[in-house]
A and B are shown apart, each in its own frame.
Chain A
Amino acid sequence: GAVVSQHPSWVICKSGTSVKIECRSLDFQATTMFWYRQFPKQSLMLMATSNEGSKATYEQGVEKDKFLINHASLTLSTLTVTSAHPEDSSFYICSGKQGISHNEQFFGPGTRLTVL
């Protein structure tokens, strides 16, 4: 399968600071990238969908001004958690999908964010 990387794999920050998470598709061009959040013992929750060169589409209840998503190229998307608070502590996972058909999506290894 295709490979997606994320950086950093874990981050600890102080409340009020901003954190940027990078998601890269290493061996394919991801026309669409997804950002998920997963709290302990819960399922994946889709936060937003981004298509290269377009503004991200956010799911209901996800603040677009707090979770800034940029998908500037076919291999890189970034998620910036602005003014992070302890309730934003979670496991953030990105995935990439090639093409516009029903292709499967490939997940990055995830980023564990802890906000103190």
Chain B
Amino acid sequence: QKEVEQNSGPLSVPEGAIASLNCTYSDRGSQSFFWYRQYSGKSPELIMFIYSNGDKEDGRFTAQLNKASQYVSLLIRDSQPSDSATYLCAVNRNGQNFVFGPGTRLSVLP
């Protein structure tokens, strides 16, 4: 079992819709969770992080964490074509070892 799993996609949503990106992880000791966005040919950029169970909202983005289910998700409201990118989920256990998922490719159709 891979440590961090994501659907590779592509996930296609129409402009203005909600995009839902999912991530599961295997290490129950994981303590912090990150979502990064990566445009083709560029390095990842941090969207948001979450440490506690529940929801965390930042603008059009909402991260949801459920440690019991070992599941973290990212919702993007009012999706825009500029949101089209690969979204990487990253999980961290002890501040040192980050594990990235394979990424989900999102395509927002105008």
- Which A residues contact B (CB, under 8 angstroms)? 1, 32, 34, 42-44, 46, 49, 91, 93, 97, 99-110
Contacts and interface: CB of A to CB of B under 8 A. Distances in A.
Given A43-B102, A46-B100, A93-B43, 5 more contacts: A99-B95, A105-B98, A106-B46, A107-B44, A109-B43
Residue among B36, B45, B96 having the largest count of chain A Cβ atoms under 10 Å? B96
Nearest to B45: A107
B23 to A, nearest CB: 12
A102 B92 contact: yes
Interface residues on chain B, size class? 20 to 34
Interface of B: 31-32, 34, 36, 41-46, 49, 51, 88, 92, 95-103
Given A100-B95, A102-B95, A44 B44 contact: yes
B88 A43 contact: yes
B42 A110 contact: yes
Contact of B100 (A44, A101, A103, A106): A44
B100 to A, nearest CB: 5
B95 A108 contact: no
